[in-house]
Amino acid sequence: MGALWQNASTKAAVSTDSPDEQPLPQSPPPRRRLWWRLFWLVLLIALIALGFAALREMRTSRLQAKTFSDIASTLTYQMHSGPSDARVYPGAGPFDKRLGYSALGEFLPRVTT
């Protein structure tokens, strides 16, 4: 006696024949399973290696130091006469107002003339 469908039918959802006549469930070929296991193994090893590399970088900062020194070696500057047109003074922060840094744009022209 097998499980019946949800309606009033007498048709069984599972065959009531003897177990010897039912086909065995098909599993994927062993080669396919092997490739998936190999994929997950390689992914796990890569994640572990990445974790160790990140841990080493956090402790030594060797890659960060090399990157910043390479960038710094390409920086240049030039001196020109007179004040710069590109200067920007601090905004309206509480310490900038209290210490007078936000008013530098007003003070400096009076001092230099």
pLDDT of 62: 95
Task: Please tell me the pTM assigned to this model.
Answer: 0.43
- HEC letters along 18-65: CCCCCCCCCCCCHHHHHHHHHHHHHHHHHHHHHHHHHHHHHHHCHHHH
- 90-106 pLDDT, tens per residue? 777 888 888 888 888 88
Confidence band, pLDDT 50/70/90 cuts, at residue 8: low
Q: Please check whether residue 104 is in contact with residue 92, taking contact to mean a CB–CB distance below 8 angstroms.
A: no
pLDDT of 83: 78
pLDDT of 12: 56
Confidence band, pLDDT 50/70/90 cuts, at residue 111: confident
